[in-house]
């Protein structure tokens, strides 16, 4: 991520769940993980469709090629992933490609 990015992590006493605010958007640590997956995957040269398919494969508990193919068969809009995960992956891709720059 670029320097100067606004990231705020807040936990409440007695709770193990954290709330993360990224540029005013409320998400979870898992959401930030999906954002980073989209960002770094794009930086590494993986096409969007591969990032979405692999995210769907993991969501379905698969670790083999058959699960990867199933995620592709599920196809858009979420490729077997949850809508929340897919949105954060897509946002990470968007940020890497220059979206949101002032």
| The pLDDT value given to residue 28 | 84
Show pLDDT as tens, one digit a residue, over the chain (102 residues): 444 455 555 555 555 667 777 777 788 888 889 999 999 999 999 999 899 988 888 887 777 777 777 777 777 888 878 899 999 999 999 999 987 664
Q: Is the dihedral of CA 44, 9, 25, 15 positive or negative?
A: positive
Q: What does pTM read for this prediction?
A: 0.74
Domains of the chain, residue spans: 29-96
Evaluate whether 4 touches 23 at the Cβ level (below 8 Å): no
| End-to-end C-alpha distance for the chain, whole angstroms | 15
| The pLDDT value given to residue 93 | 95
Return the closest-CA partner of residue 33 out of 89, 98, 94: 89
DSSP label of 94: H
């Amino acid at each position: 991520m670029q320097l100067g990015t606004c990231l705020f992590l807040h936990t409440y006493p007695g709770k193990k769940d954290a709330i993360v605010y990224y540029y005013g958007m409320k998400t979870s640590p898992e959401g930030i993980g999906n954002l980073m997956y989209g960002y770094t995957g794009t930086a590494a040269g993986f096409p969007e469709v591969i990032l979405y398919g692999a995210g769907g494969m993991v969501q379905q508990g698969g670790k083999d090629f058959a699960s990867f193919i199933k995620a592709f068969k599920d196809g858009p809009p979420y490729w077997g992933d949850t809508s929340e995960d897919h949105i954060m992956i897509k946002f990470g891709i968007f940020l890497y490609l220059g979206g949101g720059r002032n």
